[in-house]
Structure 1
Amino acid sequence: MSSLARPKNGRMIAGVCAAIANRFGISVTLVRVLTVASVLIPGPQVIIYLILWVVFPSE
């Protein structure tokens, strides 16, 4: 497993989903779909995404 670093290649917005997918060895598309689906549910998902964008280092 790799570290939680936002990759330079394969980013769509900030690379948070790609970092999570790479870390856990799952499909980037699956993580992106789950992220978009979770935004439809009320809660702090967007704020968490923005925090992870700042916290995860770039490659």
Structure 2
Amino acid sequence: MNNIRRDSQNNIFAGVLSGIAKHFNWNATFLRIIWVILTLTPFPGLIIYLLLWIIIPKDDAK
């Protein structure tokens, strides 16, 4: 099983959401929309994103 990696090719900010989308074979744009909606609600989306940015290693692709 492959580990989740931050995507350095299809990133907008840090590649967290595109890396998760790539790992689970999801659409990255859809996942970004979900994240924006969750961030605008009382759900702590920004804090979780920052924690994932720290935890998930960056991929080796240049």
- Contact (CA 8 Å) 1:2, 1:22: kept in 2 or not? no
Q: Which residue identity does 1:36 align to in structure 2? A: V
Runs of 4+ in 1 over 3 A off after TM superposition: none
Q: Which residue identity does 1:46 align to in structure 2? A: L
Q: Aligned residue for 1:30?
A: 30
Q: Aligned residue for 1:48?
A: 48
**Which stretches in structure 1 are left out of the alignment for 5+ residues?**
none
Q: Structure 1 length as normaliser, TM-score?
A: 0.90
Backbone CA RMSD of aligned residues:
1.2
1:1-59 deviation line (CA, Å, top 9, x unaligned): 74210111011001011011011111000100000011111132111100000000001
- Identical columns (%): 36
Q: Aligned residue for 1:57?
A: 57
Question: Distance between the aligned counterparts of 2:43 and 2:56, measured in 1?
Answer: 21
**Which stretches in structure 2 are left out of the alignment for 5+ residues?**
none
